[in-house]
Structure 1
Amino acid sequence: MHEVPCSSAVGIDDPPEGGAVPFFTQATSFADLWPTVRAHCDEVIDRGKYSHGGKVAEFETALAAWTGARHVIGVNSGTDALVLLLRACGLEPGDEVIVPAFSFIATATSVSLAHGRPVFADIEPDSYAIDPRRAQQAITARTRAIMPVHLFCQMADMAALDGLAREHGLTLVEDSAEAIGMRWNGTHAGLLGAGGVLSFFPTKTLGAIGDAGAILTDDPHVAETAMALRHHGRGGRTLDHFPGISNLTVIPGTNSKMDDFQAAVLLAKLAHLEHAIQRRADLAAAYTERLADVPGVRRLPTAVARPVPTDPVFYVYLVEVADRDALTRYLDDHGVGTEIYYPTPLHLQPCFADLGYGPGDFPNAEAACEVSVALPLHPDLTIGQVDRVCALISRFYSEGRRA
């Protein structure tokens, strides 16, 4: 991951606080945005269309401009975005998709829900992203796609993965759910292959107040197919051969439309996204400065060398620590929220038992699940709260707690 240099914002005069530090809250920032949110919501109410309406289209246009994507398709969750993207890319029953063994469960279940077969590969221990060498070893005659995941603050090695996909005639699809704002040599995450996705789950860098997601792509065919799939297989150029008919279902689709109230919230927050990204970077720098010499903190977010310039964005501040579970209990006892990303690697999840994987198959993924923990990181977090979190971690290890 990326170590952000300290900036002047880290020195904000904000004394340590003794109260609880939630893992996530947006109470303050949302209150500040409320007048703008309400104005957008009033427009939705006045129009009287609450799903897949004008506000969604407005948000899609704004997000396309922000990311540089030619096409943005708003849907009701990041998970559905993955499923529909895989289907729009032509995944057929039984096709294999190579995914990392360390990720949120939706990375792999989306393949299953699109009627494909997930095939796991181990990760790079420093970036937590799929290791291109391990991905290459997983390719078989049935492999159709490779789906890297951009986790926590930086992108996977897209140069190596793109070369691998081209060499073997595979589709490159990005699980960029966490990656808004991340760019590879100027190109936004999700736009380096056939397409990618964004999740707007409330904790995300750009978060809604419920579930929402989007598909990003520069491919018009993928975009048109995804637009049809999200609306029961209707709409788009798929109906050009049936003039005068607007409700004919030409492909089996689903109901995965973004609702306009979520689009209203996202539009209001999109205008402040750059500030939110910078605030997260400043907070990450504060953590790095304070935890650099703490015994028991074994790894802080560090940059992984890539062949081109990349733009990291801190969605999660993930550290590797000694005696992780005891530390999280200690922090919880003192009112500090944490999150484990991820407690069980994908290949050991019960729902994939039939794939035949077992313990020891992907040691880097399994190790990450044992020692990593995410600390609070969101724009409402104060430097005083960072001080409190870091002081508690230092105290935990200074008291000889299995450092």
Structure 2
Amino acid sequence: MFEGDPSGAGGDIMARSRDIAETIPFFSQVASFERLWPVIEARVEEVFDNGKFSHGRQVAKLEGELAAYTGARFTVAVNSGTDALVLLLRACGLRPGDGVLVPAYSFVATATSVVLAGGRPQFVDIDPVTYAMEPGALGAAVTPASRFIMPAHLFSQMADMTGLTAVAARHGLTVLEDSAEGIGMRQNGVHAGLHGAGGVLSFFPSKTLGALGDAGAVLTDRPEVAETVSALRHHGRFGRTVDNFPGISTETGLPGMNSKMDDIQAAVLLAKLTCLDSDIRRRAELAEAYRERLRHIPGIVRLPEVVDRGPGSSCVFYVYLIEAERRDALVGHLARRGIGTEVYYPLPLHLQPCFAEWGYSRGDFPHAEAASARAVALPLYPDLTMEQVDQVCEAVHDFYAGRPV
């Protein structure tokens, strides 16, 4: 009855499931793409007219626009935020076995990128308010093998870069930033990714500036880093020496990767970049609406708290993350109401099986483990309406009031 019989009971259940699943998705950019489509279409047509679909004019233009927006001297576009991390680590001189201090609470790519680049991740506990690497915990985690620190800026605000860079300076460590979520975030007037040797951006579709697929970039003020990343993304080839194939060298100076951004993604990102600041403002309005509606609900352990980092600092609500009692049951309740959520991150990095060989155990990083057990993100994106925010908050309230679906 479930197949080929939409009028039967099975068909009714499937129809209801589809309706529920589509009520308030965790993320959607359908309306944004509809508004921007004429601009996107014109840029995509330029790509076809030019006939260069990878590493072409749209990519070069995007690199310039991103440099202007962030204040970076150099921006190198690549095909994902993860590749950006690997290339940045290699370009900054990571050697086999070098220790890279990373937060125990982040997306797994923060640490797997270190392994892929040849290093060893060394985990550090987080500040429970910002969810970022905590300076005191960093100092305690440094070992003779440590060569780099790479904090991640998560959810809505940057790590304490003043405190972290001070610890790094005392120990002679190079500062890199997993600023994949950080576009638009600044501290003391400096954009995320530019407080040390370099940082990255991710343009995964759900990011604040999202593409139609995977894409990323490296940000740096150091010409030698930019030059090396540029070569590594293109099979390690430096220079432009073949007249008939601009951008392709006859010599391979380093063992590199094929990590060039394609021009279709660059075209989409250029169109969406024109709306970035207004999208960030809309995200802030939605976050404030959530705060007003959720702050008195019993069962909500923590709402986002923006830490004042001084003049020239700004936050960006990439997601709206709360900590909640009975988190998993709440997620199920919201799903039954047709509300999408995302759990960030259900298993902290030091407990991931792929890092088991380094001997970390449960209890090593209590703040990271507490966040993994309680944190959940609610829908937040520019196309979300205030009426939908009301529905989400009402559903959360009903859960803790004991009212079923």
TM-score by length of 2: 0.91
1:174 aligns with 2:210: no
2:127 corresponds to which of 98, 119, 124: 124
Report the equivalent of 2:85: 82
2:335 corresponds to which of 328, 332, 341: 332
Change (3 A) 1:277 1:119: same
Residue type of the partner of 1:206? Answer: L
Report the equivalent of 1:140: 143
Runs (4+) off by over 4 Å: 236-239
1:399 aligns with 2:385: no
**1:244-298, CA deviations, whole angstroms, 9 ceiling, x for partnerless residues?**
x922001110100000000000000001100000010000000001001111111
1:292 aligns with 2:295: yes
| Cα distance in 2 between the residues matched to 1:158 and 1:90 | 21
Report the equivalent of 2:260: 257
1:283 aligns with 2:282: no
Deviation at 1:304, TM superposition (A): 2.4
| Cα distance in 2 between the residues matched to 1:256 and 1:375 | 32
1:203 corresponds to which of 194, 201, 206: 206
| Cα distance in 2 between the residues matched to 1:372 and 1:309 | 29
1:48 aligns with 2:51: yes
Size of the aligned set, in residue pairs, is 380
Report the equivalent of 1:13: none
Change (3 A) 1:56 1:19: closer
Change (3 A) 1:236 1:246: closer
| Cα distance in 2 between the residues matched to 1:19 and 1:237 | 49
Deviation at 1:235, TM superposition (A): 2.2
Report the equivalent of 2:217: 214
1:319 corresponds to which of 318, 322, 326: 322
Deviation at 1:236, TM superposition (A): 4.2
Deviation at 1:367, TM superposition (A): 0.4
Report the equivalent of 1:155: 158
Residue type of the partner of 1:387? Answer: D
Report the equivalent of 2:167: 164
Determine which structure has greater relative contact order: mean sequence separation of CA pairs < 8 Å that are 6+ residues apart, divided by chain length. 1
Report 1:294-309 matches (<5 A): 294-306=297-309, 309=312
Unpaired runs of at least 5, structure 1: 1-16, 240-244
Change (3 A) 1:73 1:395: same
1:226 aligns with 2:232: no
Deviation at 1:399, TM superposition (A): 1.5
The 3-state SS of whatever aligns with 1:99 is: strand
Change (3 A) 1:237 1:193: farther
Q: Is the 8 A contact 1:224 1:236 kept in 2?
A: no
The 3-state SS of whatever aligns with 1:119 is: strand
Unpaired runs of at least 5, structure 2: 1-19, 243-247
| Cα distance in 1 between the residues matched to 2:37 and 2:348 | 39
**1:118-164, CA deviations, whole angstroms, 9 ceiling, x for partnerless residues?**
00010011110001111111111111100000000000010011111
Please provide the CA RMSD for this pair. Answer: 1.7
TM-score by length of 1: 0.92
| Cα distance in 2 between the residues matched to 1:320 and 1:225 | 41
| Cα distance in 2 between the residues matched to 1:40 and 1:292 | 44
Q: Is the 8 A contact 2:21 2:340 kept in 1?
A: no
